[in-house]
Amino acid sequence: MTNPNQPDYANETVDVCIIGSGAGGAPLAHELAKAGAKVVVLEKGPWYKQSEFDHDEIKNSRRDYWVPYVSDEPHVVKSNGAMEGVQTSDGWTSNCVGGGTVHMSGFFYRLSPDDFGLKTKFGKVSGMNLADWPIEYKDLAPYYDRAELEIGVSGKQSNSPFAPPRKRDFPLPPLATNPLGTLIDKGGEKVGVNIYDTPRGILSQDYQGRKACVYCDFCGSYGCESGAKSSTLSAVIPKAVATGRCEVRPESMVYELVVAKSGKVSEALYFDKDGNRKSQKARIFVVSATSVESARLLLNSKSNAHPDGLGNASGQVGRNLTFSTLGKGYGEFEVGSLPNDLQPHHPIHFINRSTRDFYFIDKYKGDYNKGGAVGFLLPHRNPIFTAERISKKSTPPSWGAALQRDIKRHYDDIREIEFEIYGEFAANPNTFVNVEGEVKDKWGLPVATIHVHNHPLDVKNSNYIVRQSLDVLSAAGAKKTEVEHIGGTTYILQHGTCRMGQNKRDSVLNAQCRSHEVENLYVVDGSFMPSSGGIPTTLTIMANSLRVADHMVAEFKKGNISREP
């Protein structure tokens, strides 16, 4: 699908060409088009309509609706020193207009002020590449406010002493929640853990022409049929197109950025939906295709001037890749032991409870003690996923009549609460992206090889937070708790492959997310982040996009962007 009301800039040299339409690309496109710039957004995936979204688990979770089949476009993952790689879909987020924001769960936390200075805080830690950001929390804070207002975030001020500072309340009140959330409140109080309402990029009320959440129970991993999820597809791209100066061109797979004799990028080469090779010329180019895929594009854009990849004279493109260190577990609450009002199944599937008490771990104070945030939620209601998870609780996995009994018990006799930890993933020399060239995708392009190393201190800190989270569940009344992950990897949260910094030798971008080497090249997805933060980072990427947009709009108004490459 394309929007017939948008301009057609295919044969023009536009002011700005943006590769990717997710959390980084879309806000920048809107701000530039609003300021009068001609903008083209090249998006690899299709442009889904709101009416196309449904609750088909097979389509949404087990096909190529969001991410490509491994047979078509694999990533190769080499974990913790493995010599042989595994072809996988890990490292893909979403290929569609709006990117990963379309099927996200919308947990919209802010970074902590301390996140911006981990190297200063901890010094040199063996096996880590810690770095300070070239900006501070105070520089990003007003853009957090703007992003929340722009897209619509629901929440309320937290009384937790560990919550990051903010000058204004959320634009929308909290979402309605399942009464089981009160168990987490009581459990936290018993063990001395501060519990607060999770801010969500989901509308609790009608907002800016969009309808409020209908509490459909199928949120994460699904597109929103009501438009209440604050994706860039729903909240930003329509406004960008409405300016009359932004063209979003779906099913456009960019495979190379070409450098002119001037040293600037002159055009983006891409395959259209029919596999034809096309070109888009522009004066400024912005890459925002996810940390893995942005690094892949730059590394594949080799030339005589850039033999190791575009903007990679420092050798840092693809380095310092970070994800999120995963911890996960569950608590079972027997229905008969719950208060009467908590026993029936409730129509709302949100618990929306969080804690940041372990963002820095007091027990390990004086050492590397960076932890992360914890989100408490109800397990996903996908029926096939649920049956598989229940089956795997037994050894060997249950099947047939035994599985039927276990499923009946799951729905009739117990209530489950899950927790997920978004732990710091320290940048380290052994976690990076390169293009080894041995495996190619359906277009014949070298795919990204993702090298992953879980630092032992991240695993140690993840283990500690898991144990504390289990204590909250036990104090809340869980009769049984279990651990699913400690020190794992959440591949969908990606950062760092084009780290920003002051020093050209150990970073790729300056403080405005512009390449140190290529004057008209910017990167605005999570690649710019010097550290991962102990939170989901979608809101941070959006806020930074608005920050960079202010810089680029100022340059546009000075006439600097309108100069030919």
Helix (H) or strand (E) holding 255: strand 253-259
* pLDDT level of residue 564 (50, 70, 90 thresholds): low
pLDDT at 562 over 70: no
Least confident of 57-66, 145-154, 553-562: 553-562
Q: What is the pLDDT of residue 3?
A: 72
Averaged pLDDT for residues 346-365 = 97
Angle between helical axes of 538-557 and 137-151 (0-180°, round to 10): 100
The answer to whether 201 and 151 have CB atoms below 8 angstroms apart is yes
Beta bridge partners of 395: none
**pLDDT band at residue 336 under the 50/70/90 scheme:** very high
- Write down the pLDDT at residue 538: 98
Structure confidence by residue, pLDDT tens digits, 43-61: 999 999 999 999 999 999 9
Instruction: Indicate left, alpha or beta for 564 from its phi (over 0: left) and psi (-120 to 50: alpha).
Output: beta
Question: What is the per-residue pLDDT for 521?
Answer: 98
Q: What is the mean pLDDT of the chain?
A: 97
* pLDDT band of 560, cuts 50, 70, 90: confident
What whole-number percentage of the chain has pLDDT above 70? 99
Decide if pLDDT at 563 tops 70: no
Q: Mind listing the pLDDT tens digit for each residue in 63-84? A: 999 999 999 999 999 998 888 9
pLDDT over 60 (residue 21): yes
Q: For position 461, what pLDDT does the model report?
A: 98
Sheet order of strands, 372-377 included: 196-197, 353-355, 372-377, 414-423, 322-334, 480-495
Domain residue ranges of the chain, discontinuous segments joined by +: 13-48+74-557
pTM of the predicted model, to two decimals?
0.98
**CA distance linking residue 33 with residue 128, whole number of Å:** 40
Give how far the C-alpha of residue 74 lies from the chain's centroid of Cα atoms, to the nearest Å.
19
Q: Is the pLDDT of residue 212 over 80?
A: yes
> In 10 A of CB 138, how many CB atoms?
10
Q: CA-CA distance, 277 to 384, in Å (whole number)?
A: 40
Q: What is the pLDDT of residue 159?
A: 86
Whether the predicted pLDDT of 343 surpasses 70: yes
pLDDT attached to residue 1: 57
pLDDT at 565: 62
pLDDT tens, residue by residue, 151-170 = 999 999 998 999 999 999 99
Query: Average of pLDDT values for 122-147?
Result: 98
pLDDT digits over 438-454, tens only? Answer: 999 999 999 999 999 99
Rounded average pLDDT over 310-330: 98
Residues 6+ apart with CB under 8 A from 553: 31, 32, 35, 37
CATH architecture of structural domain 13-48+74-557: 3-Layer(bba) Sandwich (3.50)
- Average pLDDT in the 183-198 region? 98
Report, as an integer, the average pLDDT of 176-201.
Answer: 98
Structure-token pair, residue 332: 């079972």
pLDDT score of 530 more than 60: yes
Query: What is the average per-residue pLDDT within 3-19?
Result: 93
